[in-house]
Structures are given as structure tokens and as C-alpha cells.
Amino acid sequence: MTCYGLKEQPPMGARSTQESLKKPGLRLTRQRRILLELIDRSGHHLDAEHLYRLAKERDPGINRVTVYRTLKLLKQGQLVDELDLMHYDGDQHYYETRLKQEHAHMVCLRCGKVEEFFGDPLRKLRREIETHFGFQILVARTEVGGYCAHCQVLRVREMQEAAAQAPPPAPPARRRR
Ligand SMILES: [Zn+2]
Ligand SMILES: [Zn+2]
């Protein structure tokens, strides 16, 4: 999975993991710290299984249940964001740092590539929604699904190949009474 910002890069490190952990209400345990650091440092969107494997490399004693529970806590504590990325690969959820500037996700439903966009297009969309609906937006989580440029080309080729191989159309079936 690749992901990168078009236009502006997010200002990383505006808030550090350490600062996030100082938020009241969420006690810092070693395992929480490990997971939060993994998510903050990854430029990607990692699912719980992937995070579990990475966390286990750091702390062999960590178990799957703890990872899932910790992710839930980090989400509730607003330290990480949970995404489903259009469920392009099943039911799992993906986690990403809240240290990034607000952005939207474009998910390719064919190859699973995830691209992010920041900046003007998103601000414009926000403004339009606020103006149009008189709605004050506090948080926006935008995901769109479709085909990336590469997959669009491949799909055209696949459809042409399929059309070339297709048997001639069958005569219309006779209507049953
Ligand atoms: Zn694609
Ligand atoms: Zn993202």
C-alpha cells in the first residue's frame, strides 16, 4: 500500500507521540506506547493484524487480545484514527496517526492502493458543505473508492480481451408460458 500527499505534505511532528501520551485519562502502559509509536511513525494505514505482528517484534509478550483492546482505547482517547478504507480488503480496520493534518483517502478497489490528499481540495469541499448545509464541521473523514490511473488502463485492456474471447451472443431464449 502506498500513500502520499498530493500537493502539501503533512507537517509531521507538530505534536509528538510523547505529547499525545500526556493526554489525561489514558494511562500510559508499555504496550500502549509501543502501539502508538508504531502508528505514529508509520506513514501507512496498518490493520490490527499487521500492528500485532510489528508489536510482537518489539515485545514478544504482547498478545493479540491486548493489541485489539489497546487499539480501541487509543481510538476512544482520540490518539489514533480508525478507517475502513472502503472495505476494499474485507472487514478489517486500519489505524493511522492523528498527528497528521486532516486529509482524505482515495482507495483503488482493484489494487488496494491508498492515496491521500491534503490541502486546498479538501478545504474547498469543507467550505462548500458548510455553506450549502449550514453545518459546522468539526471532523471530516473522507474516503472515496474507485480505480487508480494504472488500474483504469488495465481494466480497459481486460475488457477488450474479454470481449475478443467472448462467444457470439446466444439467440434470445423462448419465453416460457
Ligand atoms: Zn489500482
Ligand atoms: Zn491517511
CA–centroid distance, 147 to ligand 1, in Å, is: 5
**Based on the number of CB atoms within 10 Å of its own CB, is 61 exposed (0-12), middle (13-18) or buried (19 or more)?**
exposed
CA–centroid distance, 140 to ligand 1, in Å, is: 24
**Based on the number of CB atoms within 10 Å of its own CB, is 35 exposed (0-12), middle (13-18) or buried (19 or more)?**
buried
CA–centroid distance, 29 to ligand 2, in Å, is: 26
Q: How confident is the model over 83-119, as pLDDT tens digits?
A: 999 888 888 899 998 888 889 999 999 999 999 988 8
Radius of gyration of the chain (CA): 22
Which sequence spans correspond to the domains of the chain? 5-164
pTM: 0.72
Q: How confident is the model over 15-64, as pLDDT tens digits?
A: 566 665 565 566 778 889 999 999 999 888 999 999 999 999 999 999 99
* Conformational region of residue 64, where left means phi above 0, alpha means psi within -120 to 50, and beta covers everything else: alpha
The CATH class of 5-164 is: mainly alpha
Q: How confident is the model over 152-166, as pLDDT tens digits?
A: 999 999 999 999 987
**List of E strands, 102-141:** 104-108, 114-117
CA–centroid distance, 99 to ligand 1, in Å, is: 27
Number of Cβ atoms within 10 Å of the Cβ of 167: 5
Ligand nearest to the CA of 103: 2
